[in-house]
Structure 1
């Protein structure tokens, strides 16, 4: 994301629209969508792709501090798309939001596919030490941000998103086909158990490495391979 991006709508097209499945990529904590470049390029071959940047990065925007508030805001944007999304993709907080938005679509009789990369489903803040480590790691990952967005705005948005994600517990159930890609170097047992409680059609494909290396050049090909296989295997059920 650069300075020009934050002057654009929160829901932004990635490349020229084309016929096919509509995919929406939902920001992680901090609000940026730069990590999704490779994923967006791959998905554009099958239809239009949109990215949801974090509300709060542009001047005059106040970031939401709960998953519910963010889902409310983004739902209103999704309803303005020419067609409902058939795929919702997100990393960390983005996966959580993708799950919640899919639930709303499911309530309208649709079954979008959901892809979540290392997304939490059990409350992190029940362990204060774990929550503190989570915050420190995310803040450190954003310290080298070169998007052009002022650092204070990035920090304020990240803090709001961290408040939301550390207090989140997955409770809404639906049967949308879902792919969860947990990172092998993270402690994901509680989160995986919590996702299994609410996701009735869940595929789990681990990624090597830790939370912040999921989209690097070494691991991205595997992530895209898991994504491709998931889309292929669910195509008939989704049609």
Structure 2
């Protein structure tokens, strides 16, 4: 996104249209899609890739403050796709929204695959000290995706922090799901919670911390796990 005008559409084509799989990448806290560039380049070999950027970045928008509100808004965007999504992918907050969107699709008889990059499944805000620490880390990690007014970015970040720290995964479903928890984070409770709701869960830990998941030296490992997951689940569907 180079300017506010380009940022206005919420459903953003990230590759040229091509036959095959339809992927939707859902923004992390802050609403931008820049972290997903390497993932989109990898997934374009399998089909068309779209991104959903956060509501609140463009002029006149008010950011959503709950995962439920985002799910309601983004569910309508999925209807604009040329075909139902085969893969929903999200990092942190984006993973939580991806999970809830997959539940909506499951209720219609669809079974998209879901990829969760170090996504929470238990409420962070139950411990004020932990929530404060998490908020400070997120605030320090968010960068401008290009051309979006800083006040819009800041307002959206704060709304998304409310959403992610209050989220708890409760929707049980059997969509094939890949969880990539970051090894340097305290993920025991989240892993247990994901196991409770995901009956077809594959877990592949990533080294390092939450904010380095897409770093250049770790991205090949992430993409390797993603490729293995997609190849395996495609063979199961055949």
TM range (shorter): over 0.9
Alpha-carbon distance, 1:216 to partner: 0.7
Alpha-carbon distance, 1:102 to partner: 0.5
CA deviations over 1:66-119 (Å, ceiling 9, x no partner): 000000000001012111000000000001111000111111111100000000
Alpha-carbon distance, 1:6 to partner: 4.5
Distance (Å, rounded) in 1 between the aligned partners of 2:165 and 2:157:
12
Matched, 1:148 2:170: no
Per the alignment, residue 220 of structure 2 pairs with 221
Distance (Å, rounded) in 1 between the aligned partners of 2:145 and 2:39:
20
Alpha-carbon distance, 1:5 to partner: 6.1
Per the alignment, residue 10 of structure 1 pairs with 10
Let me know the Cα RMSD of the aligned residues: 1.1
Secondary structure, aligned partner of 1:45: coil
Distance (Å, rounded) in 1 between the aligned partners of 2:62 and 2:179:
30
Distance (Å, rounded) in 1 between the aligned partners of 2:79 and 2:92:
23
TM-score, structure 2 length as denominator?
0.97
Secondary structure, aligned partner of 1:48: strand
Secondary structure, aligned partner of 1:54: coil
Q: Contact 1:6 / 1:57 at 8 angstroms: preserved in 2? A: no
Alpha-carbon distance, 1:232 to partner: 0.8
Matched, 1:180 2:179: yes
Distance (Å, rounded) in 2 between the aligned partners of 1:147 and 1:135:
22
Relative distance call for 1:62 and 1:4 in structure 2 (3 A) is closer
Q: Contact 2:34 / 2:145 at 8 angstroms: preserved in 1? A: no
Alpha-carbon distance, 1:7 to partner: 3.9
**Which consecutive residues of structure 2, in runs of 5 or more, have no partner in the other structure?**
none
Alpha-carbon distance, 1:135 to partner: 0.4
TM-score, structure 1 length as denominator?
0.97
Relative distance call for 1:75 and 1:146 in structure 2 (3 A) is closer
Q: Contact 1:112 / 1:238 at 8 angstroms: preserved in 2? A: no
Alpha-carbon distance, 1:27 to partner: 0.1
Runs of 4+ in structure 1 deviating by more than 6 angstroms, as ranges, are none
Q: Contact 1:33 / 1:51 at 8 angstroms: preserved in 2? A: yes
Per the alignment, residue 88 of structure 1 pairs with 88
Distance (Å, rounded) in 1 between the aligned partners of 2:79 and 2:173:
19
**Which consecutive residues of structure 1, in runs of 5 or more, have no partner in the other structure?**
none
Alpha-carbon distance, 1:9 to partner: 1.0
- The number of equivalent residue pairs is 238
Distance (Å, rounded) in 1 between the aligned partners of 2:102 and 2:134:
26
Q: Contact 1:111 / 1:238 at 8 angstroms: preserved in 2? A: no
